[in-house]
Amino acid sequence: METLSAVEGFWDNATALTASADHAAYMIHVILVALMMTVLAPMFYFLYKYSAKRHPKEKAENITHNISLELAWTIIPTMLMMVIFYYGYIVIKDNRTMPTDAKHIKVIGKMWSWAYEYPNGKKTDKLYVPQNENIILDMTAPKGDVIHAFWIPAFRQKEDVVPGRMTQLWFNATRLGEYDVECTEYCGDRHSYMLSKVVVLPKDEYYAWINSNSAYPGGPDTSSEPMGKTLLTNNGCISCHSMGDETLVGPGFKGIVGRMVKTANGEMTSDRAYLKDAILDPDKDIVDGFSAGMMPTSAGVLSEEEVNQIIDYLSTNK
Amino acid sequence: MDTKEFTEKDFQEQIIMYGKILALLLFLTGVTFLQPLFISQGLEGTLFLQLVLASIKGFLIVAYYMHLKTASDVIKGTVYFTVFILGVLFVIMGIDSNMDDSVLDMFQAVTASH
Amino acid sequence: MGHHVDETASFYKATHTVFGHHESKFLQWIFTVDHKRIGILYGIVMMIFFVVALGTAGLMRYELMAPGADFFTPAGFNQAFSLHGIIMIFLFIVPGIPAIFGNIIMPLMIGAKDVSFPRLNLLTWWLFLAGASIALYSALSGTGFADTGWTFYAPYSIKTDTNVVLILFAAFLLGMASIFTGLNFVVTIHRLRAPGMGFFKMPLFVWGIYSTAWIQVLATPVVGITLLLAIFERVFGIGIFDPTKGGDPILLQHLFWIYSHPAVYLMILPAFGVISEIVTTFSRREVFGYHAIALSSASIAGIGYLVWGHHLFSSGMSETAKIIFSFLTFFVAIPTGIKFYDWIATMYKGSIVMEAPMLLTVLTIITFAIGGITGVTLAAIGFDNQVHDTYYVVAHFHYVMLGGVVFMLFAGMFYWFPKVTGKMYNKLSANISIWAVFIGINFLWMPMFFAGYLGMPRRYFDYLPEFQIYHQIAGIGAVLVIGSLLMMLWNFIRSAKNGEECGENPWNGTTLEWHLPSPPPLGNFAKTPYVDFRPYEFEKGEPKVKDVYQDTKKETK
Amino acid sequence: MSEIIYDKNNNAHEVTDFNDDVEGARQGMWLFLFTELMLFGGIFITYAVYFFDFTDDFVQASKNMNLWLGGLNTVILLISAGCLAMSVVFMKANKVLESKRFLLATIALAIAFIVVKYFEWSAEFHHGIWPDSPTLRGMSDGANMYFGLYFTLTGLHGLHIILGIVAMFWVLGKVNNGEINAKKFIVLENFALYWDYVHLVWVFVVPLFYMIGLSTGGAH
């Protein structure tokens, strides 16, 4: 598979299962291309041999049956289909048999960002995992959100993230590096930007980081950083809102506290109360030019205190 | 058109037949609404008895009111086929509903922490 | 109908309408109850929408030539792919071959004078037109065309503020049209076959239409109720698919695919029927394995009901259900394979003539085989886990849909064009466009198989730069495909006016429609033939039974 | 009338004329009912899935149903189907006047059904229960599903009744101008099939929506 590794991290040893998944994919295609050739090769031959030029119509023969041939092309493909089913089965069996000794990490997919929560409560916007360890992702979307799908191409792993349900997938990353995470279930305007990374770290580095105060491995100690900033990053807010004044999906954050906004209910001040509503009940007073349903509610995701911290931080962003 | 002549005798027979079926259906409707009073059962029992009653009524309606009994084989086949297909859809959906998030499910049984 | 209409004149000159006789040619067309005219009406409306959807696809390919925004906004792109999908599926491919050739050719093939319910047939066309108009209207009004994709997955379809209700309603009307078409055809095939024509003397195209009609009747209502529930969800908030009220969005996917998976067989079975006709006629010998082909159509239709779950392999469905659905899915491949082998065996020791319909059919066998085998790979759950919802799937179903259904629709147009118009298309132009579209389809979608496996998800407005090369190759293919399809359409339009007269049977076909004059008269058969022969009886490369129509005509005079 | 053709051995064969094909019309109607069955079948499948998920909630929610009105409607529909059957039999026997009376009785009962349904829904609206109402949203998830399905199913069923009433007036017109008569009654017969089908759906609605609430299950 080396030749295909033009795409970042597409290796056959990225996890414990990728080699067998690729092997199964390869075998399935070999069988099927061979099967296809049993149709196409005779067809090309007959088209040549029995074309009207070489085989005038007086010579045409009516052959309507041949029981043994017909049995052969029923039974042999059936058996081959079962072989392919078997290859599909073993891969899915490995993929879906959750190991019992795994670390669980929560994945929350919402419009249009991924958030990860570790057992000790730490939150990040990239998924950091230790090398050579079984990881189970417990994935869900907020109830008011839509369906997403979590895909790591390099790990050959994909599962939908459904609001109100929990789905799982597991892997054991064997190769250090950064791999792409993509959303594959169509989820709206920024579907194609709902990207993230999974970063495989050496075990000791991972454990050193997870118990530290830094937001990301090798990063500065963020215990002194405003909590609001961390919250904005880790909850994926800044994938739709810029810290400047440009509009991505939602309005930019620069000077957002205290400015006047036009809504369907008239002009109002974007004060603390307004912003709190905007976070917890986003469709209430939408600023003209933006549409309802774009921003998921953070009710139940952020606590009262966290909302206040965010607004505190935003008011420093003049 | 039906080649047979519709005689006065046929007419009398059919009136009596429809009358009988109507009476039977009324009786079954009575049973439907009174069932919980005299065979008071749990949910399973009620549901089962109610669906059996509904099926009997359904059978009577289809067989006599909709005269399936005298319809052509094509029409009979159509009806059996529909019921069969609908049954299959119920069974498949049932399998998925039943297995989903359950220890009965094939590989999930291994998940301890679910 | 009262008024006198000349029943022996070609159906272009005479017609029955629902309201007696009209002077106006236009009213004569839009109120006609003649199955051939209705088929042509369908054809015209569909081709207009086909060109719209083709153009949309072209714009999307243009957008994707380079990463970043070039032409569309993300919202515009999402509406574009939804429009492309909804028009192609609901307005073109699903009704396509049945509504056009099922209407025009099927009654001719079984020796009937019309379908069983001609007025219902006209009403169906009006329903279709109404659905099509609402779909078009929704694109031009209010918040614009739905951006849900053609699958309408909840909860996104509940949340988005585009015109989803209109398009759901349009799809519902189109579904009704489809149901009535199917109902009409089932009854027609049961009741109106000419005396002597048993089920196993029907041409294979009729078998394809028959299986299709059953799927239309059986499966479409389920999507009808799904669309209704989704409409109620948006208008009244009943909550069935809304997780905030306890509803299950996956249920919509189940109900949707209970219809929409059989619907893909609904699309392909009539196309298989056309292949059987063309391969046999141009091999100038009897078809190999008639019963096997006929019954495999029926069994594909049957098995097709039990496999919808393979669209939900990664949706969090139970593992047991996944395994069952995967296992069952493989069994669709068997009857499909049997058909392929039978067609190839039909070429054996024939005397093959490479006219445009045959050329396109042969190339279709190649493209459909590619689409077919990649479809089988998707049934293997472990592999599907990687490529589900990626360009691999996009490539697979376009190979099947364009390289199967649409190619065969056009092959059918080449094949029956002389019958319907009495004229011959331009053969040189036909051959050039057929080769161009074949080369184009491979440029367009072959790279996507690789892009998909490597990590290119579908429905992406923007993509990682690694994938640009695949999109650029696809862009070249898109130009070829669009250009050559338009060239084919232009060929038909021009040849209908100035093509050469072709006589009643230019291909030496054996089925009943070739015994009629081209174009056929209003009542089809002046005297119904007695069918005591099998559909494809050739003797030394020539049709064995000739001029049934002429014989019967002489008797009546 | 119909065309007769002869095969090689001079045996006569009748050609089916699509204009006058009673058996074809019957098959068409059955196929249509078939599609209707699949349509309602979709809702019943949905019902089954949610009943499985929220059994107790469904039983509790069902206790809100008004059994008297439901029972009344069951009887009304049952008798109306009987009347229509009689109408067909009388038509076959060429007793047009009686046939017409029974048809009118069916129309009256159908309208009565709609009136009762109106009162039933009004009562529920009065209790604050309608799709997406604040009261309903405050209730359990299962209750939301139950009432969502209840309003969808009975609404769709009611729509079928209303369309049926419209169609019955049309049929009545055809009886009046003699297009439906003792020799040609397939339209009336097919309509009776439709009406029996509408009745059939109701037969299954009653246990699933009205009667489960009477069981002792789901009390916790």
Q: Which chains touch A (3 or more CB pairs under 8 A)?
A: B, C
Looking at beta carbons, which residues of chain C come within 8 Å of D45? 255
CB contact under 8 A, C319 and A95: no
State how far the Cα of A263 lies from the Cα of A253, in Å rounded to an integer.
17
A92 to chain B: closest CA residue:
B107
Chain C nearest CA to B103, separation (Å): 11
Q: Provide the domain count of chain B.
A: 2
Same domain, A203 and A173: yes
- CATH number of the domain that residue A239 is part of: 1.10.760.10
What is the overall mean pLDDT for chain D?
A: 89
Residue D160: inside a domain: yes
Whether chain C has a CB inside 8 Å of the CB on B88: the answer is yes
- E-strand spans in chain A? 103-110, 113-117, 123-124, 127-130, 134-140, 148-152, 157-161, 167-172, 177-183, 195-201, 260-263, 266-269
Answer yes or no: do B42 and B88 share one domain.
no
Q: In this structure, what DSSP letter does residue B19 have?
A: H
pLDDT at residue D220 is higher than 50: no
Q: Does D83 touch chain B (CB under 8 A)?
A: no
**For the segment A9-31, what is each residue's pLDDT rounded down to a tens digit?**
677 788 989 999 999 999 999 99
C-alpha C132 chain-centroid distance: 16
Q: Taking residues D120-132, report their average pLDDT.
A: 87
Average pLDDT, chain C: 90
Domain-embedded: residue A117:
yes
Per-residue pLDDT, averaged over D205-215, amounts to 86
Domain tally, chain A: 3
Reported as a single tens digit per residue, the pLDDT across D87-101 is: 999 998 888 999 999
Domain match, A158 and A195 both = yes
Please report residues of B whose CB lies closer than 8 A to that of D52: 94, 97-98
Task: Read off the pLDDT band of C69 (50, 70, 90).
Answer: confident
pLDDT confidence of C365, banded at 50, 70, 90? very high
Per-residue pLDDT for A256 more than 90? no
Q: Closest to A104 (Cβ–Cβ): which among B107, B108, B113?
A: B113
pLDDT at C2 over 70: no
Same domain for B16 and B52? Answer: yes
| D199/B46 Cβ within 8 A | no
pLDDT computed for residue B79 by the predictor = 86
Q: Band of the pLDDT at A293, cuts 50, 70, 90?
A: low
Instruction: Determine the 3-state secondary structure of A172 from DSSP.
Output: strand
pLDDT of residue C442: 95
Residues B58, B114 within the same domain: no
Tell me the pLDDT band of A8, cut-offs 50, 70 and 90.
Answer: low
Give the CA diameter of chain D.
79
Residue A104 has pLDDT above 80, yes or no: yes
pLDDT tier, A123 (very low <50, low <70, confident <90, very high otherwise):
confident
Q: What is the pLDDT of residue A264?
A: 79
Mode of pairing for the β-strands spanning A195-201 and C542-543: unpaired
Q: Span C124-142, mean pLDDT?
A: 92
Least confident range of C150-154, D36-40, D215-219: D215-219
Q: Which pLDDT score, from 0 to 100, does residue B40 have?
A: 66
Residue A72 touches chain C, beta carbons under 8 Å:
no
Instruction: Write down the pLDDT at residue B56.
Output: 92
- The reply to whether B21 and B63 lie within a common domain is yes
Q: Do C221 and D38 touch (CB under 8 A)?
A: yes
DSSP for B79-105, written as a single string: HHHHHHHHHHHHHHHHHHHHHTTSTTS
Do B46 and B90 belong to one domain?
no
What is the C-alpha separation between C115 and C122, in angstroms, rounded? Answer: 11
pLDDT tens per residue across span A26-68: 999 999 999 999 999 999 999 999 999 999 988 888 888 889 9
Say which CATH number the domain at C281 has. 1.20.210.10
Range of the domain at B86: 72-114
Contact B99 C320 (CB under 8 A): yes
Q: Rounded mean pLDDT of C520-548?
A: 86
What pLDDT does residue C447 have?
94
* Domain annotation covers residue D19: no
- Give pLDDT, residue A76: 94
Chain B interface, mutation test: which of A92, A98, A139, A160, most B Cβ atoms within 10 Å?
A98
**φ, ψ dihedrals at C519, nearest 5°:** -70, 155
Verify whether the Cβ–Cβ distance C248 to D49 is below 8 Å.
Answer: yes
- Taking only the tens place, the pLDDT of each residue in C182-222 is 999 999 999 999 998 999 999 999 999 999 999 999 889 99
Instruction: Quick: pLDDT tens for C323-346.
Output: 989 999 999 999 999 999 999 999
Cα C213 off chain centre by: 12
Q: Are D184 and D218 in contact (CB under 8 A)?
A: no
Of A297, A295, A306, nearest in space to A240 by CA: A295
What was the pLDDT predicted at C504? 87
pLDDT digits (tens, 9 = 90+) for C11-52: 888 888 888 777 888 888 999 999 999 999 999 999 999 999
User: What mean pLDDT comes out for the span A136-163?
Assistant: 91
Round to whole Å and give the CA distance between D4 and A288: 75
**In which band, very low, low, confident or very high, does the pLDDT at B1 lie, cut at 50, 70 and 90?**
very low
Residues of chain C with C-beta less than 8 angstroms from the C-beta of B96: 254, 309, 317-318, 320-321
Looking at the structure, tell me whether residues A150 and A133 fall in a common domain: yes
CATH label of the domain that carries residue D60: 1.20.120.80
* Cβ–Cβ gap A158/C292 under 8 Å: no
Domain, as residue range, for D118 = 43-214
Evaluate whether C265 touches C304 at the Cβ level (below 8 Å). Answer: yes
A22 and A81 in a single domain? The answer is yes
State the pLDDT confidence band at A5, using cuts at 50, 70 and 90: very low
DSSP secondary structure string for all residues of C163-231? SHHHHHHHHHHHHHHHHHHHHHHHHHHHH-SPTT--GGGS-HHHHHHHHHHHHHHHHHHHHHHHHHHHH
Chains that touch C (3 or more CB pairs under 8 A): A, B, D
Query: Which among B107, B113, B114 is the nearest to A97, CB-wise?
Result: B107
Same domain, B24 and B61: yes
The residue that leads in pLDDT, C367 or D2, is C367
Domain interval for residue A290: 227-315
